[in-house]
Structure 1
Amino acid sequence: MVFALEPLDDRTLSNGASFAKTRPSALQRYRIVEWRGGETLLDLVIENEPFNIHQIQPVGDDLLLVCSRSRYRGPDDFDLNGRLYRRDGTPCGEILLGDGIESVQATGTGEIWTSYFDEGVFGNFGWGSPVGASGLVAWNRHGERLHAFSPPEGLGPIDDCYALNVSGDRDIWLYYYSEFALVRLRNRQTVASWRMPVKGSHAFAVTEDPARYGAYVALMCGTYGDPDALQLVHLGTGGEARMIRTYRLQRAGSAPVGIAQVVGRGGVLYVIGTDCTIYRIDVAEMVATDHA
């Protein structure tokens, strides 16, 4: 996780409207903390970072800090919003990842996947030909584009990639508007897709269905009218998607907990609740309990 240590300066006002700032007025300091199994693996302070940082991923032995916005001013003048650091806090590179980044997730081999919301797809901040026009792009650590999403037959292009789940080095899942489709890529090729009964989810986790070979179960977080809903959906082998059940995040003996932030990786949702607690929700465990 990444935390700003100085007061935030990430918005600017113009004619009553609020706009994102790529760079704060003063250099920012960030604290980066990595936990695993209850153990702190890294606790580092990055000094003098010129960009507002929104997301972080490990890339090989290094760290990638990402500003979700990038402003284009000319052919050789644009914000390099992917910021690479050694684990001792030393800067070691900067790359262009494009404007309007919704999510960034890296594989264990160091491949970087970025998904884009509508401004990154259609262009803003000076980008007439947006880097994220496809809605989903894969990069190497040098900022070279490896893949751009192309919709499978029967589905339209990405207008806004609502959720991304990099579940392995070769398996990528995405959920996008306006098709409300869940798509699985393997080796950068579409191998399956489902039109989902859930509209407006902002994260998901997915696991194999233990009862049927080739089928999956997805836990979708949020809908347009209910951002805290957790909806379990069966993904059939023929492209059919069926709602199973709706859940709420709840601690024992307490009222339901709201969801402040959430990310899905593989079969797990990692949630920061409105009670400032971090939750780990394993879909396979939910399915096993449901079948018990």
Structure 2
Amino acid sequence: MTTAHFYPIGTPGHAWGDGERAAWRARQVQQRSYARDVVEALQTLPGSLEVVQYGQLESITDSYPLLLAMSRDWDPALPTALVTGGVHGYETSGVHGALQFLRGHAQDYVGRLNLIVVPCVCPWGYERIQRWNRDAFDPNRSFRDGGLIVESASLMNWLAARDDTLLVHLDLHETTDSDADEFDPALASRDGKVWTPETIPDGFYVIGNSENPEPAFQQALIAAVAQITHIAPADAQGNLVGLPLQSPGVVWGESRSIGACAGVTDARFATTTEVYPDSPRSTPAQCNDAQVAAVVAGLEFALANR
């Protein structure tokens, strides 16, 4: 099923210009605080971690320090892990799952692993519960060509300057009902394309990098999260979000070639987690716990199999 008039901004068949982007931005309302939820939370971390500002996001009305937490006693002899959340700011458990991991589990990796955790890549989107940044660009299609927007470029430049060899990268996401109700229609309207509704999976799943999928790694995450919440079943075509199911809860998707955050490094073990927060079978706490379980399982698998 498709429909011609499916979004209040734009003209069917015509990509947005500056006027449509401005009209879209005017509809976005701040609903929560990055300063309170993320910046303040980062000031209360264990002493084994230090907070680093890797960039600054500025606009006419907003200013956000871009922050990460990393191991204070960095040991070049140890493997390094990157955890990112809030690449899509509306995906709440990505942000709060990363923060929960820092508070409850980062200490477990002292002397075993160097950690870099970026809990909220897109603070403007986090505050407005929005998928895009303020200019209607998708941060999770912008990690290429040196970074297409400030949010991606700042992190890419910081990582490139350090030149760490990364063993594992976990990028924490959600798939929500609002993808079907708001964000997919907005994307089609923005690009002047026809909108074809898709089925939203009910449950947790992971998208492994098709360039280097590491099936056993992906399966280890599914096994850990299955103890917390349910795993998404395939649809009638054997797919999840249009991708063929490889094993329970696991699909392969392009990462580096499309500018997804999970493909920003050469980490051997990389994945995009997808929690479904709108399920009647899941609570917000379970969603956060699922993200933490995936991170811990990923780190432990990588350490055991490097």
TM-score after normalising by structure 1 = 0.30
Q: For CA contacts below 8 A with separation 6 or more, give which structure has more relative contact order.
A: 2
Higher helix content, 1 or 2: 2
TM-score after normalising by structure 2 = 0.29
